[in-house]
Amino acid sequence: EQGMLLWSNHARVEGYSNFLWVLLQTGMLGLHMDPDLGAKIVSLAAAFGCLWYLDGDRARTAVDKVKPS
């Protein structure tokens, strides 16, 4: 039925753990993208975003330690 969350075996879902993930996947479906491919793209983007953030944080910390007082 339209408007219902379903498992891959078409059993109805009574709940979900991450509303943001559901919204992102809904957006991917709205773009007519394969849900599996959309999930991989979102996961890779999140992983690279975390690595980018952590790399910048480490660089700032190293610069702060080198600055003369």
Give the pLDDT means over successive 10-residue stretches in the chain (69 positions). 60 70 85 88 91 74 60
Q: How far apart are CA 30 and CA 10, in angstroms?
A: 19
Write down the pLDDT at residue 21: 83
Q: Kindly state the DSSP code that residue 48 receives in the 8-state scheme.
A: H
Write down the pLDDT at residue 16: 67
Write down the pLDDT at residue 20: 86
Write down the pLDDT at residue 58: 66
Write down the pLDDT at residue 5: 65
